[in-house]
Structure 1
Amino acid sequence: MSQGTGSIRAHGGKLVNRITQKNTSGMYSFSVSDDLANDVENIADGILSPLEGFLLQDDFESVISKGRLANNLPWTIPIVLDVDRETATKMKETGDVLLKARHGEFAILHVEETYTFDKEKTAKAVYGTTDTNHPGVAKTFSMNEFLVGGKIDYVKRPSDDPIRKYRMSPLQTRKSFQDANWKSIVAFQTRNPPHVAHEMLQKTSLTTHDGVFVNPLIGKKKSGDFVDEVIIKSYATLIENYYPKNRSMLATLHTEMQYAGPKEAIHHSIMRQNYGCTHIIIGRDHAGVGKYYSPFAAQEIFSDYPDLEIEPIFFPAFYYCRKCLAFTNERACPHGEEFREQISGTKLRALIDEGKSPSEFIMRPEVVQVIMNHKKPFVD
């Protein structure tokens, strides 16, 4: 049993806690992005257990070459801080560095080492491509040449921000699961407002499990994705109107979307295991972008990770069939696409931009209203 309550161990066996109180006066400081600040907080809260800070070189190179930490524990997305040569030298000399972001100073980085890395090899390993049209590859190639490894201590959370209303730590989620007497908890990762098909997929999992943990990803996304406020309010509205209160929970995960397809499916699973979930729904093209990954690559990669404790639940895409008069999928429905009520993200955005509502078999009217009421529902 991990630190804290829950029916599944934290990844690696122990839920990390790097929250502390320390004097930071007079320390050398370094500014990072809000998204990186979120991940430092995620490390501190144990969402990224067993990581206690930014990857050291041995772990980084093992993640890139094997999709595992140096101790062979599954890990697929490198959590790193990149800096230029001058800053790397300064940090190494200083030892302890005070990290700050838009909301102010928040953590101490205990610098253990600095090292260079191969951007092309990293991009290929994580994203399966070196095409700079891929947002993750573009980000990798734009990084500074040095990485800084070392543990962190988290000293100050951001002041109250409406976007953090639903943020929970693994200690909090595990206690909530225990209080609800849930033994089997199914996580659902999303970066979009819910389609009715997504709702049916979650409710199908509820027929054989105790609870569903809806965990929208809040953080930097690509142009054309929905903005965070719309995603949160859409799901809060859906759950309020259509979900059993004692069988569902909404909490936000504050981290940047990587669009790493199969590698990110493993990463998403690890984080949900740390929250205390026993299962995670992995659908068609999970965490994909464009045509970079085959539709079921994110499901197939789990065969390489039989030692993961959280169990994936593989679902084909759901849709409403006008012939079956039911929400169904290709495994249960014999009818052609002409009978299916489904819509691409591009077509959905076009409809909303034109002020038109999608079919009630595609999106609940209450969710449509949330989107329509927002002045700018999409990322520029």
Structure 2
Amino acid sequence: MVEQQKPHGGKLIDRTLSNGEAEDIINRANDFQSIEIGPELVKDVENIASGLFSPLEGFLTSDDYERVLYDKRLSSGIPWTIPIVLDLSKEKASNLNPGDEVLLRHNNQPVALLNVDDVYKFNKRVHCEQVFGTTDDAHPGVAKIYQLNDRLVGGKINLLNETSTPFYEYALKPAETRSMFKEKDWEKVVGFQTRNVPHLGHEFIQKTALSLVDGLFINPVIGRKKSGDFKDNVILDSYESLIENYFPQDRATLGIFQTEMRYAGPREAIFHAIVRKNFGCTHFIVGRDHAGVGSFYHPFAAHEIFSEFDEEELGITPIFFKSFFYCKKCRGIANDKTCPHSEEQIVNFSGTRMREMLTNGERPPADSMRPEVADSILKYENPFVE
């Protein structure tokens, strides 16, 4: 019998109300104060409700926020590295008190009910320094924080309505992925985080990790990204092509993680590992410059942060990979541990070069990208976020 991975904190959180309970609250919507939230916060709410952010049951209270900021843990001591917060204006905050129930709306439609625990100030510069390691607003995560309101509200949520997604077939909840892994008889599952289309280096990393476990869960981030990133549907189509043509059909599957990229480098690597643990993964691939942006983090900072946590308390095994390249002499993918040949024989995977070729309607060479993957991208007139 397959022994399943335990959720982070030991219990898979479920904060989704029954249809009857939700309908009752929606019918009384005018009885509640309300807060309008954007699409990224909606996804945070839904990820809390489904248990993907277990053990969180809502937005961080001040005690949890402070511990996460400075200690990378919740007040309970459980590892957690990214503050999941709800911001609101000083004026709105002045009308809220602990114990209040507030309706969270998106496009004026009820999404969730928030039970207010506390409302507190936060220092944006300190937040950025701790989470991103910089206060430079050239960093997209820092720029986002500087745009937030001046107060945060913490408290548990109850989901009333789930928003629609164009990628419904891939939007599996933790309970569903866990059931799927069990049906596939996968006891050991490795998760792969990505916000890019796959080249041969990615495929090699995935297959190397897959050789150690029972199944591979390819889990792209779907949501707000920076300009120049690949569009969500392009990423999904490219991976469908890769799985169909180059993976055993009973050993790899595709599902999405609906959230925004925060580009928090090492802290986000831990957060991504925890999320995949909640999906049911036992292992997690951590590559070069995981969740990085520009030159804000050194290439292997995301590897080093795992040493700050005991593997037992984190509860998921990281698999670290450095850089890979194509060796003409070896006629395959290699790295400096496996290949003795000179630089003249080495073809590095240049994302910039591949993007240029794809932009120009050209298929990257076979030593960089599978032709079927390239063709799935080239069918789009513009595959990049503007």
Into which bin does the TM-score normalised by the smaller protein fall? Answer: over 0.9
Q: How do 1:95-106 residues align onto structure 2 when only pairs under 5 Å count?
A: 95-102=100-107, 104-106=109-111
1:324 aligns with 2:324: no
1:47 deviates by 0.4
Q: Is the 8 A contact 1:14 1:50 kept in 2?
A: yes
- Do the aligned residues in 1 keep the contact of 2:36 with 2:108 (CA within 8 Å)? no
Task: Report whether the alignment pairs 1:188 with 2:192.
Answer: yes
Q: Secondary structure at the match of 1:245?
A: coil
Report what 2:370 is aligned to: 364
The letter for the 2-side match of 1:268 is H
Task: Look up the SS of the partner of 2:135 in the other structure.
Answer: coil
Structure 2 residue aligned with 1:123: 128
CA distance, structure 2, for counterparts of residue 237 and residue 304 of structure 1 = 38
Alignment of 1:1-380 (within 5 A): 7-21=4-18, 22=22, 23-24=25-26, 25=28, 26=30, 27-92=32-97, 95-102=100-107, 104-159=109-164, 161-306=165-310, 307-380=313-386
Distance of 2:253 and 2:290 partners within structure 1: 21
- Tell me the TM-score normalized by structure 1: 0.95
Instruction: Give the distance between the partners of 1:52 and 1:342, measured in 2 at CA.
Output: 44
Instruction: State whether residues 219 and 254 of structure 1, in contact with CA within 8 Å, keep that contact through their aligned partners in structure 2.
Output: yes
**Paired AA for residue 36 in structure 1:** L
2:56 and 2:343 map into 1 onto residues whose CA distance is: 45
Distance 2:245 2:93 in 1: 52
- Shifted more, 174-183 versus 338-347: the winner is 338-347
Amino acid at match of 1:355: G
**CA-CA distance at 1:251 after TM superposition:** 0.3
Which segment is superposed worse, 352-361 or 101-110?
101-110
Letter in 1 for 2:140: P
**Distance of 1:199 and 1:226 partners within structure 2:** 17
SS of 1:59's equivalent in the other structure is: helix
Preserved contact between residue 194 and residue 363 of structure 1 (Cα < 8 Å): yes
The two structures, once aligned, show a CA RMSD in angstroms of 1.5
User: Could you tell me how far 1:72 is from its partner in structure 2?
Assistant: 1.4
C-alpha deviation, 1:372, in angstroms? 1.2
Query: Given that residues 99 and 117 in structure 2 are in contact (C-alpha distance below 8 angstroms), is that contact kept between their aligned partners in structure 1?
Result: no
1:162-218 CA distance string (max 9 Å, x none): 223201111001111111111110000000011111111111112121000100000
TM-score normalised by the chain length of structure 2? 0.94
Q: Distance in 2 between matches of 1:280 and 1:226?
A: 22
Bigger Cα displacement from structure 2, 110-119 vs 93-102: 93-102
Unaligned runs of 5+ in 1: none
8 Å Cα contact 1:34-1:102 kept in structure 2? no
Deviation at 1:233, TM superposition (A): 1.1
CA offsets per residue over residues 252-299 of structure 1, 9 Å max, x none?
000010111100000000000011100000011111111111111100
Change (3 A) 1:51 1:6: farther
Change (3 A) 1:377 1:71: same
Give the 3-state SS of the residue equivalent to 2:263 in structure 1.
Answer: coil
For residues 241 and 70 of structure 1, the distance between their equivalents in structure 2, rounded to whole angstroms, comes to 47
Checking the alignment, whether the CA contact within 8 Å between 1:185 and 1:211 is kept in structure 2 is yes
> Alignment partner of 1:220: what SS?
coil
Q: 1:352 Cα deviation (Å)?
A: 1.6
The structural deviation recorded for 1:322 is 0.6
| Consecutive unaligned residues in structure 2, runs of 5 or more | none
